[in-house]
Structure 1
Amino acid sequence: MVARILTAEISHETNTFNIRPTDIQDFQDRYLLDGPAAIASRGEKNTELAGILEVGRRNGWDHTHVISASAGPGGRVTDRAFDTLCAPVLLAAETGGWDGILLILHGAMVTASHDDGEGELLRRLRVLTGPDLPIAVTLDPHANVSAAMCAQAQILVAFTTYPHVDIRAAG
């Protein structure tokens, strides 16, 4: 049996003291890539995505990557930007038939409406997938790991070095 794995990357380190909101343009300015473009750009580098792709090839996964997005550290992510970034992940998850979901997150996203952006994304996924589908999350070492994140994901893994030389290994 071939495992069907869904992956996505949404990364932001929010500073709630920063009064300038982070909008979709901030993600576009750093990178906002659909799945194939993300794999082409980030799939062979020291990234979690590269590590996931490597393990997937080795194990014969049927792998679908839907988005890679990151903005530099900044103020709260606008609800519009958050919803835009989450949409392809939720749409893909809704199709069903997945054996697992792997999310590449930072772990410190705060949105205009949610103090725990990652926890909110995971909550939305659980509404679509139910409680039993395995969800794994990679995180930055200084993530704000919440009870919601722990309740919604079975696996949380952080890279551990600074400079971040073990990102691919975490993936």
Structure 2
Amino acid sequence: MVECGQHPNADKLRVTKVNVGGERLLDIVCGAPNCRQGLKVAVATIGAVLPGDFKIKAAKLRGEPSEGMLCSFSELGVSDDHSGIIELPADAPIGTDIRQYLQLDDNTIEISVTPNRADCLGIIGVARDVAVLNKEPLNAPEITPLPPPLPIRYRLPLKRRTPVLATLAAW
């Protein structure tokens, strides 16, 4: 962020000039409390699509042009932290795709569970299937059962209150 100044028409907004590695600086209006000059930030430029199908487009905010958005972790869908924009280290390269820099690109598996595949309702079942597909051994964690927190001392008395035939299947 090359420049950061107070918005002339809004107390809680700042007008910034941001270098994203192109030929010119981008004017971006920001409302984050940690917005300041010299900060390296994550920028969504015009045409970017953020999680939730939120498309970035040029806009005027209280009369000032904005050519993008300075992003928080929550706006990128990384975490729930929306306290301010992402502050990157001083040695972060300008113009690098934030997904590559933060190593956010990951493989995902979409699963549609059918009634005959209850094993896919748990992560171990999914891991087992992925291991088989890739012809790799399953690296499952060792699970040790926990002892019950309290001994069970109460027995529930059961009384039959229906006729004997009512317990039989009706088909």
Q: Same fold (TM over 0.5)?
A: no
TM-score by length of 1: 0.21
- Structure index of larger Rg: 2
Question: Which is richer in helix?
Answer: 1
Higher RCO (CA-CA < 8 Å; seq separation 6+): 1
